[in-house]
Amino acid sequence: MNTSLEDNYRHKGLRQQLVDLLRTKGITDEAVLSAINEVPRHIFLDSSFVELAYQDKAFPIGSGQTISQPHTVAFQTQLLQVQKGMKVLEIGTGSGYQACVLAAMGAKVFSIERQRNLFFKTKEILEQLSFRVKTFLGDGYEGLTTYQPFDRIIITAGAPSIPEKLIEQLKPGGIMIIPMDNAEGDGQTMLRVTKMEDGSLKKEEFGDFKFVPMLKEIGND
Ligand code: SAH
């Protein structure tokens, strides 16, 4: 991770350009764009990548994982329809960037990471920033029984199916965004799952993406 927390005018300028680019790529939710404008993405990357932090690209963050591409973060966040004060559960803390974007929108963020080294590395960075994110080392398939129910759930790894326990922990009327493995086995389809008041699920598809896999149980792999 970048050890300097400096956020200078150059970083802010680059961030504004990124926001303009995301607009041209179809992100229209002003609350999402303003959160992207607020969160210093370069702080979540290894220092050698600082110059590249504001390109619309995914990057390695160690432990074989990646920080999602800004467009993917913005796209998932826009689909999530977050409002101030909502309780949001994220599966796959990774660098912590997506969690901070949600916190910048006024959400109360709970985020689970299964990869031990990454969990500790990211926890340290988040403690130095002002975004309110609670992180947990655990298996996202299990959710967080003590903090449920959630208004929103966002999964940031490719999932083979809709995790049943997470549906149980979603409020009626709540929304889950999940990149679901496609039948071809070469990527994911972005799915928005709405839990209707009668408990049934409404599913909508929003195009193809590529994520690292959602794995089971805590590990160091
Ligand atoms: N949201 C992240 C991107 C994460 S990449 C960011 O903004 O940087 C996906 C992350 O999901 C990886 O860190 C991976 O270790 C984690 N992951 C995979 N399976 C998981 C599981 N079952 N529970 C929790 N985290 C998981």
Q: Concatenated DSSP letters for 104-117?
A: HTT-EEEEEE-BHH
Q: Is the CB of 189 under 6 A from ligand 1?
A: no
Q: Considering Cα of 63, then 181, then 103, then 87, what sign does the dihedral take?
A: negative
- Judge whether 98 and 147 are in contact, CB under 8 Å: no
Q: Catalytic residue among 4, 48, 63, 68, which?
A: 68
Q: What is the pLDDT of residue 6?
A: 85
For residues 37 and 104, give the distance between their C-alpha atoms in angstroms, rounded to a whole number. Answer: 10
pLDDT for residue 5: 79
* Count of C-beta atoms within a 10 Å radius of residue 179: 26
Question: Which of 39, 59, 77, 93, when mutated, tests ligand 1's pocket best, judged by the most ligand atoms within 8 Å of its CB?
Answer: 93
pLDDT reported for residue 59? 86
61 Cα–ligand 1 center, Å:
11
What's the rounded Cα separation, in Å, for the pair 92 and 177?
13
Q: Check residue 217 and give its pLDDT.
A: 80
Neighbours of 220 (CB within 10 A): 9
> Known catalytic residue: 68?
yes
Under 8 Å between Cβ of 107 and 89: no
- Measured from the Cα of 140, ligand 1's closest atom is 23
Q: Which residues contact 149 (CB under 8 A, 6 or more apart)?
A: 87, 169, 170, 171, 174
Helices 9-24 and 30-38: angle between axes, nearest 10 degrees:
150
**Peptide bond before 149: cis, by omega within 30 degrees of 0?**
yes
Strand, coil or helix: 55 = coil
Second-level CATH architecture of 60-209: 3-Layer(aba) Sandwich (3.40)
pLDDT for res 1: 46
| pLDDT value of residue 7 | 87
User: Average pLDDT per run of 10 along the chain, which is 221 residues long?
Assistant: 73 94 97 97 80 88 87 98 98 97 98 96 94 97 97 98 98 98 95 96 97 88 69
* Residue 36 Cα to ligand 1 middle (Å): 20
Whole-number Å distance between alpha carbons of 221 and 212: 13
Q: Model pTM?
A: 0.96
Does 125 sit in the ligand 1 pocket, CB within 6 Å?
no
Phi and psi of 137, rounded to 5°?
-90, 120
Mutation probe of ligand 1 site: the residue of 72, 102, 114 with most atoms within 8 A of C-beta: 114
Task: Determine the Cα–Cα distance for residues 55 and 37; give it in Å rounded to an integer.
Answer: 13
Q: How many whole angstroms from 30 Cα to the centroid of ligand 1? A: 26
